[in-house]
Amino acid sequence: MENGRIKNIKRQILSDNWYTLNKYTFEYQKFDGSWEVQKRESYDCGDGAAVLLYNTRKGTVVLTRQFRMPTYVNENTDGMMVEVCAGLLDGLTPKECILKEILEETGYQLTEVKQVLVTYMCPGSVTQKLYLFIGEYQDAMKVESGGGADDETENIEVLEMPFENALQMMVSGAIRDAKTVMLLQYAQINKLIEVNS
């Protein structure tokens, strides 16, 4: 950390029941040169990786649908979210992680993916960096049923759909997950799949 406008950082762990909730107290130098004490809480759930699987010949993408409790308690009536495949690094490199997650969640076995972005998804309260990838899949790469790892209490539905449908779901609000919106927009901007006008 190399910001000369921050000093005397103190950390207090508030909870480490699932991941780690920290409280930071620090001095911050304002634009006028004066110093003030600030307090912030941040949630550390580890860095992660996500991937948009796409098939240029078929014009399709593979997404997932699963229940997300935090959205359920914040006005997502059924708690279900349509998302790109994703997971926590858990000591792996971003590429190793996402290749493992692709197989576990979707059943496709890819050997190559391309990293296109690195983002802080909620920088005001969450420390997580998310490495975003794209990966081209073929039908022959489907070697398992997917659905998530048994030991991770995942219950994931695999969705293959036309890219145009995914874009329409994003516009209509049926897809509201930020990483998924970013990767769908990346694919659209970079014309990974031709869209009929």
The tokens for 171 are: 């516009």
Does residue 1 contact residue 24 with C-beta atoms inside 8 Å?
Answer: no
Annotated binding residues for Mg(2+), written as ranges, equal 86, 101, 105, 154
- Token pair, residue 37, equals 């004490």
CA distances for 49 relative to 27, 132, 162, angstroms: 33, 6, 23
Cα separation, 161 vs 129, in Å, equals 28
Per DSSP (E only), the strands in the chain are 6-15, 20-29, 35-44, 48-55, 60-67, 80-83, 85-88, 114-120, 129-136, 157-162
Binding residues: 86, 101, 105, 154
112 close to 95: Cβ distance less than 8 angstroms = no
Helix, strand and coil in the chain, % to nearest 5 = 25, 40, 40
At 19, the amino acid letter reads Y
